[in-house]
A = this chain, B = another copy of it.
Amino acid sequence: MLVSKLVCERMKEVPQDAKIKSHILLIRAGFIKQVAGGIYTMTMPCQKMSQKIQKIIREEMDAEDGQEVLFPVVMPRELWDQSGRYSSIGDEMVRFKDRGGRDMLLGMTHEEAAVHLVNHTVSSYQQLPVMIYQLQTKFRDEARPRGGLIRVREFTMKDAYSFHSDYADLEKYYYRMYDAYYRVFKRIGLKNFVDVKSDSGMMGGSIAHEFMLITPDGEDSIVFCNDCDYRANMEVATSVIAKGERVDEEAHEIFTGDDKTIEEVCKRLNIPASKTVKAVVYAVKGSADELIVAFVRGDLEVNEAKLKKALGKNVVAYDGGISEDIVCGNIGAIGLSDKLIKVFDKSLQGESGMVTGANKPEYHIAGVDVDRDFGVKEFVDIAKAAAGHRCPVCGGTLRVENGIEIGNIFQLGTKYTASMNMTVNGPDGTAFNPIMGCYGIGVGRAIGSIAQESNDDYGMILPMSVAPWQVHICALRYDDDAVKTKADKLYADLQAAGVEVLFDDRNCGAGVKFADADLMGMPIRVVISPKTLASEEVEIKLRRDKNAERVALDGAVAKISELIASEMDALKA
């Protein structure tokens, strides 16, 4: 491909709305162009990169007996009513009426379509397990698309669905996919990624893992143990917290004036936050009257994902509207209205000598023994793990890092096959609901993640396996006949040898050419110029290296082919 012809606008300026590195670089290199919020056109280099990633994904899915199919983007409401997701998914799903007035939607994932296809088509347990997958456009109406290709509204996704006779078979297959995911991410050149246990969210089901690229710009928080293998998405991470010393004291009201926050109360009473009880109020989404008070120890935070799971309800932060049952800043479990749903975190169990709100202005209650005074039936885990907490597995110290989710796998169970009445016949002829797993990778996010991880101050450093072109030739003084002749020949020879080449044939200065080559990030840069040709040489440099190497022109194709092979070797799974 000739740079002079490439529809791809490079720019020096950092785009205004781009905050993270991958977003800045993909825009600056002209790989993507925004059409609307979270909606991009991919230019040729980005689309080539996307296709290389897709090819690697296909190879790994096919290796796990996957059958590639194509589900529709637009689906009828009826299908999603069967699973219940037409109503359970919120505004992120686009719904519209077709010209016949029928309710349609843009698919966010394709569990329903997968069950629709496999139902009847597979009728006997003997055909199981089967896995089907697709690479298809998805649209999710994200409230706040951001980060370039990291959080978009429209994207290409690989989504896979497996069907099994029993949980043991799902488990076995699930870990084959788990391994396949490691191979995919390794092969596309990602380096610092891990799998973490995660919440199954809107997918339903029980066990789930996310694959996370570790990066400070990531929006997800991941809890790691410094001393063992324990790691989990913050949403599901658990931790062990040291209990306070036992204090025998009667509960008694104390005047706390206008001090309402944990910080203020602790300061006034000269106690640590761990001796207080924090009360956080939530509302149930779509149910104006249902208020929830979550109690955790004052030095901890409420983990909303865990709270939602514990309640089986979609809770949102309480907007502070008027409720006669709540005295903001002085809420406590003693004497609190029965109209409120109360949830108590495990961190409070057994704690004594605690300070909690008195449910009236200007007063708290001190000397509280949680087990004695709160009348708690059940303590549940709704606290956020935090750096410095103890590991639930080994007791080691936990730390928290940020990450970008690059893939996820779920054990769905029978959520969809049961709700959609899909059965197959078992060995004794009895019909049963197959057990499902599902497995997703966002292709655009993979591109964003690669750009996020592999770069330097000058631009992207693309891995050989996914770079749009393997080699970027900079022909300096291309208006010089000798340069033109030899550069054209090198370009032709490399292509004849099966090498993918981007060839900067423009009549512009070396500075512009080098800057573009660095920005776009092809793994090998070749410079051919009057200077190199004086000794019948070219200059070859790996994008990631500082120093270039001079190579005889007639050995350049062989040298470049070697470099490509060795780079590819390093990316083998």
Contacts from A to B (Cβ < 8 Å): 1, 4-9, 30, 33, 35-36, 39-44, 46-48, 50-51, 65, 67-76, 79, 91-92, 94-96, 98-99, 102, 104, 106, 113, 116-118, 120-122, 126-127, 130, 132, 134, 136-137, 139, 141, 143, 153-154, 156
- A113 contacts which chain B residues (CB < 8 A)? 35, 41
Say whether B41 contacts A117, CB under 8 Å.
yes
Say whether A47 contacts B65, CB under 8 Å.
no
CA distance A143 to B132 in the complex (A): 31
Say whether B74 contacts A39, CB under 8 Å.
yes
CA distance A215 to B420 in the complex (A): 40
A17, chain B: closest CB distance, angstroms: 16
A544, chain B: closest CB distance, angstroms: 27
Supply 10 A–B pairs (Cβ within 8 Å), ascending by A: A1-B67, A7-B117, A7-B118, A33-B117, A35-B79, A39-B75, A41-B116, A47-B70, A50-B70, A96-B96
Q: Nearest residue in B to A67 (C-beta to C-beta)?
A: B44
- A137 contacts which chain B residues (CB < 8 A)? 73, 136-137
Say whether A130 contacts B69, CB under 8 Å.
no
Q: Nearest residue in B to A98 (C-beta to C-beta)?
A: B141
Say whether A7 contacts B73, CB under 8 Å.
no
Pick the contact of A117: B43, B130, B134 (CB < 8 A). Answer: B43
Query: Knowing A33-B121, A121-B30, A127-B4 touch, does A141 contact B99 (C-beta < 8 A)?
Result: yes
Say whether B73 contacts A44, CB under 8 Å.
no
Say whether A36 contacts B127, CB under 8 Å.
no
A91, chain B: closest CB distance, angstroms: 4
Pick the contact of A116: B33, B72, B126 (CB < 8 A). Answer: B33
A361, chain B: closest CB distance, angstroms: 40
Chain B CB within 10 Å, residue with most, of A48, A91, A98, A153: A98
- A1 contacts which chain B residues (CB < 8 A)? 67
Q: Nearest residue in B to A70 (C-beta to C-beta)?
A: B42
Query: Knowing A7-B67, A30-B121, A65-B5 touch, does A139 contact B75 (C-beta < 8 A)?
Result: no
Say whether B96 contacts A94, CB under 8 Å.
yes
A362, chain B: closest CB distance, angstroms: 43
- A104 contacts which chain B residues (CB < 8 A)? 36, 94
- A73 contacts which chain B residues (CB < 8 A)? 73, 137, 139, 154
Nearest first, the 7 A-B pairs at minimum CB distance are A96-B96, A36-B76, A9-B121, A44-B67, A42-B70, A91-B99, A39-B72
Query: Knowing A35-B113, A76-B36, A99-B143 touch, does A5 contact B127 (C-beta < 8 A)?
Result: yes
Q: Nearest residue in B to A48 (C-beta to C-beta)?
A: B68
- A9 contacts which chain B residues (CB < 8 A)? 120-121
A3, chain B: closest CB distance, angstroms: 10
Query: Knowing A44-B68, A96-B94, A141-B99 touch, does A75 contact B7 (C-beta < 8 A)?
Result: no
CA distance A122 to B106 in the complex (A): 33
A114, chain B: closest CB distance, angstroms: 9
CA distance A51 to B141 in the complex (A): 29
CA distance A139 to B136 in the complex (A): 14
Q: Nearest residue in B to A51 (C-beta to C-beta)?
A: B68
Query: Knowing A48-B68, A96-B94 touch, does A74 contact B7 (C-beta < 8 A)?
Result: no
Say whether A44 contacts B65, CB under 8 Å.
no
Pick the contact of A99: B4, B36, B71, B92 (CB < 8 A). Answer: B92
A39, chain B: closest CB distance, angstroms: 5
- A106 contacts which chain B residues (CB < 8 A)? 74
Q: A35-B71, A74-B94, A74-B154 are in contact. List 16 more A-B contacts (CB 8 A).
A: A7-B130, A33-B116, A35-B72, A36-B72, A36-B75, A39-B72, A41-B117, A42-B69, A43-B117, A44-B68, A46-B70, A47-B70, A72-B154, A73-B154, A74-B139, A94-B98
